[in-house]
Amino acid sequence: MTGIVALYIFMLAAFTGYEIIAKVPVILHTPLMSGSNFVHGIVLVGAMVALGGAVTPLEKTIGFVGVLLAAGNAVGGYVVTERMLEMFKSSGARKKTGGGH
């Protein structure tokens, strides 16, 4: 990937992120923050590559910590977001499933 192509990707992704969030209702702010927190858990693949290429004990140690933290970010982010969003139901959906209690 050349530098200028990377810059284009960066620019387009930045506008995409802005547009996605622009019309989000306040009721979803907390789950959405949690959801975007999950998405940057993609750092896991970078940490895997860094640890996969590590040679010295120092590199291996830092790489190991990196993968450990990244996996925590991805899995923890997913679990809490899913738990929150699972609870969001409309009156109609609730009646269908036999009420909240």
Q: Which of residues 70-89 bind another protein (CB under 8 A)?
A: 70-89
Work out whether 8 is an interface residue with another protein (CB under 8 A).
Answer: no
User: Shortest distance, CB of residue 96 to another protein, whole angstroms?
Assistant: 11
Work out whether 27 is an interface residue with another protein (CB under 8 A).
Answer: yes
Q: Which of residues 41-60 bind another protein (CB under 8 A)?
A: 41-54, 56, 58-60
* Helix, strand, coil shares, percent, the chain, to 5: 80, 0, 20
User: Shortest distance, CB of residue 9 to another protein, whole angstroms?
Assistant: 6
CA gap 60, 74 in Å, rounded:
21
User: Shortest distance, CB of residue 90 to another protein, whole angstroms?
Assistant: 5
* Residue 6 CA: distances (Å) to CA of 3, 47, 83: 5, 20, 35
Work out whether 101 is an interface residue with another protein (CB under 8 A).
Answer: yes
Work out whether 98 is an interface residue with another protein (CB under 8 A).
Answer: no
Q: Give Dmax (Cα) for the chain.
A: 60
Residue 42: helix, strand or coil by DSSP? helix
Work out whether 4 is an interface residue with another protein (CB under 8 A).
Answer: no
Contact 41, 70 (CB under 8 A): yes
